[in-house]
Amino acid sequence: MDQHRSVTTTTKRQKLKKAGRALKKFTLFPKLPPELRDMMWNIAAPGPRIVTVDAGECFNLNTNKFKMRFASDNKVHGMLRACRESRQIMLRLLPIRLPSKYWKKELRIGHHDVLSITKPEIFFEDLEYALEYELPIPVAISQIRALSFWITLSGHFNVPRFVQTVRSASTLHNFLFAFKSLQTVIFCISSEDKVNDTIDEDSFPDFTTDFDPKPLDTCQGSFFRCAKAHEAALKKTMQEWKDEDQCNALNIPEVKIVAKGWPLKPLPASEETGEKHSQ
């Protein structure tokens, strides 16, 4: 009896081991050709995202060590967990690898994603410190193409010292030197009040640059003017620095405003309905 039970237990263990090996090779849609599966996964892949990260304080006073590590509140996309095939496609679409605060983990970002750093004024101070003392900076920083900063409905800018900080030629030089691939700086405004530094949205489907500049009410008016002021100040600072320093080696990124919850610009007469056009 005991011998029979032992044989049965061994058989069960062998079956479980085989099942475990089989699961590692599991592929969704196994009857479809690989080309069609790849096409389906690419269609299911996310578009440009807002990836919100917290860099914390990079310099540890207790250990006197400098490390840039990031944490994100963005949800892990399901394709990274669906199966090995979908994960490989997602890793290919998200080549930028930010080091994570969590051991043996990393944050994956795509070239079309927009990075939003919480408490960025602290991060930029740490970044300038690292460049000054030639401390290690993650390679991923030089691969980021777009940064976003949020202005709340009350008119408060979550980077109060950002424009003032980059007015210094050396600071701006360090900022652009670190973000070598930076193409766009985006000021995001929304009809929803954002009192926290964390951003709930992880994509741009409802944000647009093609919005009506005439606000609906007083709050939106101050909101829009605040965004325009920061946009103009940053553009002016960057251009003045480039003209004075005569340094053409560094790219000056485009600065723009995107809005959510604003009415779209009215269509030109030529694009409206035939009835209006005839008038």
* pLDDT above 90 as % of the chain: 4
pLDDT value of residue 271: 47
* pLDDT above 70 as % of the chain: 59
pLDDT value of residue 140: 92
pLDDT value of residue 279: 37
Instruction: Please compute the mean of the pLDDT values over residues 32-48 and round it to a whole number.
Output: 82
- 124-180 residue pLDDT tens: 778 888 888 888 888 999 999 998 877 655 544 444 455 565 555 566 667 777 888
Summary mean pLDDT of the chain: 71
Question: Does position 266 have pLDDT exceeding 90, yes or no?
Answer: no
Please report where in the chains the tokens 């790219």 appear, as a residue.
251
pLDDT value of residue 255: 80
At residue 185 the predicted structure's pLDDT band, cuts being 50, 70 and 90, is confident
pLDDT value of residue 273: 45
Please report where in the chains the tokens 């779209």 appear, as a residue.
264
d(CA 47, CA 167): 34
Of 116, 140, 136, 114, nearest to 127 (Cα)? 136
Q: Could you tell me the two tokens for 197?
A: 């530094």
Q: Could you tell me the two tokens for 106?
A: 């990393």
pLDDT value of residue 96: 93
140 phi, psi to nearest 5 deg: -60, -30
Instruction: Please compute the mean of the pLDDT values over residues 16-21 and round it to a whole number.
Output: 51
Question: Does position 276 have pLDDT exceeding 90, yes or no?
Answer: no
